C-alpha cells in the first residue's frame, strides 16, 4: 500500500506538470482538445491524490509503524478518530491534505465549467495545477509522507495529548479548507488577467468559493480559539501568537475582498484593488501554511525542524512577483469610467472598510515579522507582544464596527440628508441612550463603553432593516409578520444573510469587549476553605487521586456559590499519562450568558492543599454563539438561488447581463 | 468641483487614515517593544539591560527545576546554544508543556542580583512527542 501511495504521488507529479503546461499550449496553438485533456488530467490528479491519501490513512488505521510518519504521530492505543486526525497532525500529512483538497476543488471547478468561462478555463486549470505541482514536488522530492524507517518499531510515538480533543480534530482541516479555498478565486483572477477578460465574470463565478474559503478560515480560527480556551487552559482564547496571526491575516484581507467586490459588481470600480486583494489573500494563505511549517518565528505551534522554508519562500516570491507583475502589465485594461462622488456614500464606506481591514492585516504582519526585520536591519531581535496588537487593533476595530453599521444602509453615490436621517437617526439615538444607561449602571471602561455603544448602534441598524423589510411585505403582500420575515430573507439571501453574518460578528466583538472586565485571582486553599471572586464564593472540597488504565488523575472539586446560592460543583484535574512526564491540566468552566467562571488547578501537595487560578471571563459564551450565527448567515448567503443562477449562466455564456 | 480637485480630495482622506494607522503602529511599537535575546546576548548587555523589559528564549536545563506547587514559585536554569546559563524565577501557572529540556520563552526583567524575574512563561508545544528515552 505504501508503495502505491508514493507511486501515486510520483504519477500525480507528472500529471500535474502536464495539466499546468497543456492548457497554455492549447491556447497558443488554438487546440481546444489540449485544454480538454488538461481538464481530464486534473480529474485524474484528484483520483491519484485520493488514492495516495487512502494509502496513508490505511497505514495509520492498520498501525503500520514502518512508515515514519505513522510511527511519529500515532500509537496502538490511539482512538480511531484521533488516528484519522493524525493524518494532518504533522508536516507531510498536512501537505498531502492540502493537495487533496486542492485537487478536489479543481475537479469541482472543471465539472462546473464544462460549458462556461471557456476563455478563462485554460488558465484556471493551469494555475490550479501549478499550485498542486508545487505541493507534489515537496512530497515527491523533499519530504515523502511514505518514507520508511530503517526498522519497524513495536509501537508509535503517539499523538500529543493536547491534540487529542474535538477542537484539534476540526481546527486544522477547517483552516486548511480556508487556505486552499482561496486558490480558486486567485486562479480565476489570474486567468482573467491572462485572458484579458477583465469584466466581473471571474468575481461572480467565484463568489461562492470565496465565501466558502472565508467561512472555513473563520471557522478554523474559531476552533483554534475554542481549543486555546478550553484545552490549553491559560484562561484566554487568543494570544497574538505568530501562527494564530498567520491564519487571521488572510481572513482579514478575504473579508475586505468579499466587501469590495460588491463595489465592482454594482459600480464597476475598484478593479485593480480587488485583484490586489485576492493576490494578497492567496499570498497570505500560502504564507500561513509556510509559517506553520517553517519554525522561522518562535511560536507555541512550531512544528520543529523543517526543511521546507526555502521552498515556500521561493514559491511565495513567484506568486507575489508574478501576480503583481501581471497586474501592472494589465493596468491599461483595468480603467474604470466611474469615480467616487462623495465621502458620504456607500462606495466611500466600502473604501474605509477595506482600509481598516487591510490596515489590521498589515499591522499584524508587521508585528509578527518585526523580530526578523529588526535582526536583519539592526542586528538585534526586537519583539512586540500582545500589548502592541491590542493598542493598535482596538481603535481600528472600533472604527470598523462603526462602518459595519453605516455601509449597508448609506446610499450609493451620494447620500442625502433624508437618506441619512431615515436610516441612522433612530439607531444613533438608541446607541446614545444605551451608552448613557450603561454608563449609569457602572460601565466606566472607556473603550468598552464605546465598543458597546457602537454595537448597539449597528444592531439597531440591522434590526431596523429587518423590521422595515418585514413590514413592507406584510403591508404589500398581506403576509403575516413571521411569514413575511422568512420570505424577506429567502428572496434576498445575499443581503439578509449578510446582515445575519454581521450580527454574528457583533456577538463575537461583544465577547471580546467583555475582556475589559476580566478578573483573575490566585488562591491557595486547604480542604474546606473558601475564597471569593466577584459575587462568587468558592469552597474547595478536596482532592481525589485515582488511577485509570493509562493515567493518574488528581481531581480537585470546588463548590460554587453564586450570590450566596449554591449553583453546583466544578472539578478541575491534572492528568498524568503513565509514561509521560508531562501532565495535562483540565480546566473547569461554568458558562452562562453573562460570564464564564474558569478554574485552573495550578498545583497541589501531598496534604491535599491546592492552589487555583480563578478567572471570570465576562460575556465569553457570546463568542461561540456568534460563531454559530455567522455559520447560519453563511449558509443563507451560499444557498442556491434560482434567479441568480439563471442570470449567472446567461452571463457566463456571453449574453448581456441583466441590469442588477 | 473640477475633476482634479475631486481626485485630490479622495486621495487626502485615505491618506489621513493611513497616517493615523501609521501613528497607531508607531505609538504601539514605542510602548510595547521588547528585546528578544538569548542568554549570551543578555549577558553582553549588562549593565544597561537591568530593569528593562526583555523576552528571553532558551532551553530549560534538565534537573534544574525547583517547583513549589502551593506558592506557585518556579525556579529553573535557562541555557542557550553556547551553554551560557542564567537562573530564572517565575511565579504563576506553569504551562503543561514545561519540563526539563524543552524550549521556553520568558518575559520579564534581569535583576542586578543575577536572576531573571519572569512574569510570562511560554513553553513550546511540539506537535509530536519528543523521542522517549
Structure-block grid coordinates of residue A403: 462602518
Residue A290 has pLDDT above 90, yes or no: no
Place of cell 481591514: A357
Higher pLDDT, A579 or B46: B46
Query: Nearest 5°: phi and psi at A604?
Result: -155, 160
pLDDT over 90 (residue A557): yes
Q: Does domain B35-123 have CATH number 2.40.50.140?
A: yes
Share of chain A above pLDDT 70, in %: 95
Domain boundaries along the sequence of chain B: 1-33, 35-123
Contact at 8 Å (CB) between A271 and A257? no
Residue found under cell 476563455? A119
Q: Which of residues 60-119 of B touch A (CB under 8 A)?
A: 67-72, 92-97, 99, 105, 107
Give the number of beta-carbon pairs within 8 Å between A and B.
148
Asked if the structure places residue A581 within a domain, the reply is yes
CB pair distance less than 8 Å for B71 and A613: no
Q: Which pLDDT tens digit goes with each residue over A169-210? A: 899 999 999 999 999 999 999 999 999 998 888 998 899 999
The answer to whether A301 faces chain B, any CB pair under 8 Å, is yes
Tell me, yes or no, if A352 comes closer than 8 A to chain B by beta carbon.
yes
Percentage, residues of chain A above pLDDT 90:
69
DSSP string over A145-204? TTPBPSS--SS---B-GGG-SHHHHHHHHHHHHHHHHTHHHHHHHHHHHHTT--SSHHHH
Which residue in chain A is spatially nearest to B19 when comparing CA positions? A359
pLDDT surpasses 90 at B32: no
Contact B80, B58 (CB under 8 A): yes
State the pLDDT confidence band at A654, using cuts at 50, 70 and 90. Answer: low
DSSP A49-94: HHHHHHHHHHHHHTT-TTBHHHHHH--TTS-HHHHHHGGGTSHHHH
Is A500 contained in some domain?
Answer: no
Into how many domains does chain A fold? Answer: 1
Average pLDDT over residues B62-85: 92
State mean pLDDT over A508-522.
96
Comparing CA positions, the residue from A608, A607, A602 lying closest to residue A583 is A602
Average pLDDT value over all residues in chain A: 90
The pLDDT score that the predictor gives to residue B128 is: 40
Please check whether residue A385 lies inside any domain of the structure. Answer: no
Q: What region does A340 belong to: left with phi over 0, alpha with psi -120 to 50, or beta?
A: beta
> A583 in contact with B at a CB cutoff of 8 Å?
yes
Query: Does the ipTM surpass 0.95?
Result: no
A395, B96: Cβ pair inside 8 Å?
Answer: no
Cβ-proximal residues to B109 (8 Å cutoff; 6+ apart), any chain = B50, B51, B52, B53, B54, B116, B117
Q: What pLDDT sits at residue A310?
A: 82
Query: Residue B129 pLDDT > 50, yes or no?
Result: no
Q: How many CB atoms lie within 10 A of CB A630?
A: 22
Q: What is the pLDDT of residue A261?
A: 92
Phi-psi group of A416: left, alpha or beta (phi > 0 → left; psi -120 to 50 → alpha; rest → beta):
beta
Residue A649 has what pLDDT?
A: 67
What pLDDT is attached to residue A656?
44
Enclosing domain of residue A525: 520-621
User: What pTM was computed for the model?
Assistant: 0.93
A243 and chain B in contact, CB less than 8 A:
no
Q: pLDDT at residue B127 above 50?
A: no
Q: What pLDDT is attached to residue A393?
A: 95
The residue that leads in pLDDT, A610 or A161, is A610
Largest CA distance in chain B: 78
pLDDT band at A416 (very low <50, low <70, confident <90, very high): confident
Is residue A61 pLDDT above 60, yes or no?
yes
pLDDT of residue B131: 33
Give the model's pLDDT for residue A302.
Answer: 46
| Cα distances (Å, whole numbers) of residue A99 to A88, A315, A357, A396, A532 | 12, 15, 29, 36, 53
Residue A166 or A122, more confident: A122
Helix axes A242-267, A271-294, angle to 10 degrees: 160
Chain B residues whose CB is inside 8 A of the A366 CB are: 25
Question: Which residues contact residue A122 at a Cβ distance below 8 angstroms, ignoring those fewer than 6 apart?
Answer: A23, A24, A26, A27, A35, A38, A191
Please determine, for residue A274, whether its predicted confidence score (pLDDT) is greater than 90. yes
pLDDT-derived band of residue A295, with 50, 70 and 90 as boundaries?
Answer: low
Contact in structure between B93 and A602 (CB atoms under 8 Å): yes
Q: Quick check: is A615 in a domain?
A: yes
Residue A388 has pLDDT above 70, yes or no: yes
Amino acid at each position: 500500500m505504501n508503495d502505491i501511495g508514493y507511486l501515486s504521488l510520483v504519477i500525480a507529479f507528472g500529471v500535474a506538470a502536464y495539466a499546468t503546461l497543456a492548457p497554455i499550449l492549447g491556447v497558443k496553438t488554438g487546440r481546444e482538445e489540449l485544454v480538454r485533456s488538461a481538464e481530464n488530467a486534473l480529474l485524474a490528479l484528484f483520483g491519484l491524490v485520493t488514492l495516495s491519501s487512502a494509502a496513508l490513512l490505511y497505514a495509520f488505521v492498520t498501525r503500520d509503524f514502518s512508515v515514519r510518519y505513522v510511527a511519529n504521530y500515532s500509537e496502538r492505543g490511539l482512538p480511531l478518530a484521533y488516528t484519522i486526525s493524525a493524518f494532518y497532525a504533522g508536516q507531510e500529512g498536512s501537505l498531502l491534505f492540502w493537495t487533496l483538497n486542492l485537487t478536489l476543488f479543481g475537479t469541482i471547478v472543471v465539472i462546473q465549467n464544462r460549458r462556461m468561462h471557456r476563455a478563462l478555463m485554460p488558465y484556471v486549470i493551469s494555475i490550479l495545477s501549478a499550485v498542486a505541482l508545487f505541493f507534489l514536488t515537496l512530497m515527491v522530492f523533499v519530504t515523502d509522507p511514505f518514507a520508511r524507517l530503517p526498522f519497524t518499531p513495536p509501537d508509535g510515538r503517539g499523538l500529543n495529548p493536547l491534540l487529542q480533543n474535538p477542537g484539534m480534530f476540526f481546527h486544522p482541516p477547517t483552516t486548511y479548507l480556508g487556505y486552499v479555498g482561496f486558490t480558486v478565486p486567485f486562479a480565476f483572477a489570474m486567468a482573467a488577467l491572462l485572458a484579458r477578460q477583465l469584466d466581473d465574470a471571474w468575481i461572480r463565478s467565484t463568489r461562492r468559493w470565496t465565501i466558502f474559503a472565508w467561512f472555513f478560515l473563520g471557522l478554523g480560527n474559531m476552533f483554534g480559539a475554542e481549543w486555546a480556551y478550553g484545552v490549553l487552559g491559560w484562561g484566554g482564547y487568543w494570544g497574538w501568537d505568530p501562527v494564530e496571526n498567520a491564519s487571521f491575516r488572510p481572513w482579514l484581507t478575504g473579508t475586505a475582498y468579499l466587501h469590495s467586490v460588491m463595489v465592482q459588481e454594482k459600480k464597476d470600480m475598484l478593479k485593480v484593488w480587488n485583484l490586489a486583494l485576492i493576490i494578497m489573500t492567496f499570498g497570505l494563505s500560502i504564507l500561513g501554511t509556510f509559517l506553520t511549517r517553517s519554525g522561522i518565528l518562535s511560536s507555541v505551534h512550531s512544528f520543529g525542524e523543517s526543511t521546507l522554508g526555502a521552498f515556500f519562500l521561493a514559491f511565495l516570491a513567484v506568486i507575489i512577483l508574478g501576480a503583481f507583475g501581471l497586474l501592472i502589465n494589465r493596468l491599461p485594461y483595468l480603467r474604470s469610467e466611474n469615480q467616487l462622488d462623495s465621502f458620504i456614500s456607500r462606495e466611500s464606506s466600502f473604501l474605509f472598510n477595506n482600509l481598516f481591514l487591510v490596515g489590521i492585516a498589515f499591522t499584524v504582519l508587521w508585528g509578527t515579522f518585526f523580530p526578523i526585520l529588526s535582526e536583519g536591519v539592526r542586528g538585534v531581535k526586537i519583539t512586540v507582544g500582545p500589548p502592541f496588537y491590542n493598542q493598535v487593533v482596538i481603535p481600528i476595530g472600533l472604527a470598523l464596527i462603526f462602518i459595519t453599521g453605516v455601509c449597508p444602509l448609506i446610499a450609493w453615490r451620494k447620500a442625502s440628508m433624508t437618506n441619512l436621517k431615515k436610516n441612522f437617526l433612530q439607531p444613533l439615538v438608541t446607541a446614545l441612550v444605551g451608552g448613557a444607561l450603561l454608563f449609569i449602571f457602572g460601565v466606566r471602561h472607556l473603550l468598552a463603553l464605546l465598543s458597546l455603544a457602537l454595537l448597539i448602534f449597528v444592531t439597531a441598524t440591522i434590526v431596523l432593516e429587518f423590521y422595515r423589510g418585514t413590514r413592507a411585505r406584510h403591508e404589500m403582500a398581506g403576509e403575516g409578520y413571521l411569514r413575511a420575515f422568512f420570505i424577506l430573507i429567502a428572496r434576498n439571501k445575499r443581503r439578509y444573510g449578510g446582515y445575519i453574518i454581521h450580527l454574528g460578528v457583533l456577538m463575537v466583538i461583544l465577547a471580546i469587549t467583555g475582556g475589559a472586565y476580566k478578573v483573575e485571582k490566585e488562591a491557595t486553599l486547604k480542604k474546606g476553605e473558601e475564597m471569593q471572586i466577584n459575587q462568587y464564593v468558592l469552597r474547595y472540597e478536596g482532592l481525589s487521586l485515582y488511577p485509570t488504565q493509562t493515567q493518574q488523575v488528581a481531581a480537585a472539586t470546588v463548590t460554587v456559590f453564586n450570590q450566596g446560592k449554591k449553583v453546583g460543583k466544578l472539578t478541575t484535574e491534572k492528568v498524568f499519562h503513565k509514561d509521560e512526564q508531562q501532565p495535562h491540566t483540565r480546566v473547569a468552566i461554568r458558562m452562562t450568558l453573562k460570564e464564564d467562571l474558569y478554574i485552573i488547578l495550578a498545583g497541589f501537595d501531598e496534604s491535599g492543599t491546592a492552589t487555583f487560578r480563578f478567572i471570570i471571563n465576562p460575556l465569553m459564551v457570546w463568542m461561540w454563539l456568534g460563531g454559530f450565527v455567522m455559520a447560519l448567515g453563511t449558509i443563507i448567503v451560499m444557498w442556491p438561488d434560482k434567479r441568480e443562477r439563471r442570470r449567472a449562466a446567461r452571463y457566463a455564456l456571453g449574453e448581456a447581463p441583466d441590469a442588477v | 468641483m473640477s475633476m482634479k480637485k475631486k481626485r485630490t480630495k479622495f486621495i487626502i482622506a485615505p491618506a489621513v487614515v493611513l497616517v493615523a494607522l501609521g501613528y497607531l503602529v508607531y505609538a504601539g511599537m514605542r510602548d510595547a517593544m521588547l528585546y528578544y535575546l538569548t542568554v549570551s546576548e543578555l549577558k553582553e548587555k549588562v549593565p544597561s539591560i537591568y530593569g528593562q523589559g526583555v523576552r528571553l528564549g532558551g532551553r530549560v536545563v534538565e534537573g534544574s527545576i525547583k517547583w513549589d506547587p502551593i506558592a506557585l514559585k518556579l525556579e529553573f536554569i535557562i541555557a542557550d546554544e553556547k551553554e551560557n546559563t542564567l537562573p530564572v524565577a517565575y511565579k504563576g501557572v506553569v504551562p503543561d508543556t514545561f519540563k526539563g529540556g524543552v524550549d521556553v520563552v520568558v518575559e520579564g526583567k534581569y535583576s542586578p542580583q543575577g536572576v531573571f524575574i519572569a512574569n510570562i512563561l511560554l513553553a513550546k508545544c511540539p506537535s509530536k512527542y519528543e523521542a522517549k528515552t
